Structure 1
Amino acid sequence: MLNPAATPTVTAATHGSDLTATVHTAAQAATVALIVIIAASLYLLGCLIWPFGKCRRCKGAGKFKSPFGRAYRHCGRCQGSGLRIRLGRHVINHLRAVHGAGENTTTSKGKR
């Protein structure tokens, strides 16, 4: 009868491939994270330059035509401007408000 402990196993050969797979997975995750960070940065830069987008309800027209085509009414969502604030600009405005709240100009340092 064969002793199970005496049979050769090839587990040592698979340890190197596990490490290689882990390194490839970590490199791929880092690459994806870098791409996401770059894309988000470019989007926020675009929101700094162009803070407004077209209103989704009226598609930027600011008004709607009546069913018979003779009269117009203003869009209720954008109040007739045809513009909306982009999501990234909301994020930038929030970050500015949080940063501004941390700066307290009413207290003077060193004076009592």
Structure 2
Amino acid sequence: MSSTLATSTHTATTHSSGQGSGSLPLAADLTVTVHTITQAATVTLIVTGVIAFYLLTCLIWPFGRCRRCNGAGKHKSPFGKAYRYCGRCQGSGMRVRIGRHVINYIRAARGAGTNTVSKGDKK
């Protein structure tokens, strides 16, 4: 049945003189466009959900392990058995996650926009 439909579609598109059956290719183009828009909307929804989930986890757990010292807070010296505190995390073993930086930036920008009038300037 699909080969009959494909043949009739091919015949209608190749032999049409611009009259009568010209709506068949338009319907096929519309179907492809709707399918593409649906795929784009689905991908956008999934990406938005993943970003929202990541920002939520950054809100709950703002710190991650330091990548330089692997969360230990100290390095072994290259010569000997001495340990030094990690310079990147200052010995805490933790770092602020990128998503938490984004949340802090959004909060600061929103706070700067709403608190523009000081108490002394009110009339």
Check whether TM > 0.5. yes
The answer to whether the aligner puts 1:8 opposite 2:33 as a matched pair is no
Match of 2:78 in 1: 67
- TM superposition outliers: structure 1 runs of 4+ over 2 Å: 7-13
Q: What's the CA shift string for 1:4-40, capped at 9, x where partnerless?
A: xxx9328723221110000000011111111111111
| Inter-partner Cα distance in structure 2 for 1:10 and 1:20 | 23
Relative contact order, CA 8 A, sep 6+: which one is greater? 1
TM-score w.r.t. the length of structure 2 is: 0.76
Q: Unmatched 5+ residue regions in structure 2?
A: 1-13
Question: Given residue 98 of structure 2, which amino acid in structure 1 is its aligned partner?
Answer: L
**Residues 1-112 of structure 1: matches in 2 within 5 Å?**
8-9=15-16, 12=22, 13-104=24-115, 106-107=118-119, 112=123
Q: Name whichever structure is richer in helix by fraction.
A: 2
Q: What's the CA shift string for 1:71-92, capped at 9, x where partnerless?
A: 1001111111111100000000
| Inter-partner Cα distance in structure 1 for 2:119 and 2:79 | 63
State the identity %: 62
- The aligned length equals 105
Q: Unmatched 5+ residue regions in structure 1?
A: 1-6
User: Pairwise CA RMSD of aligned residues?
Assistant: 2.2
Cα distance, 1:108 vs structure 2: 7.3
Cα distance, 1:106 vs structure 2: 1.5
TM-score w.r.t. the length of structure 1 is: 0.83
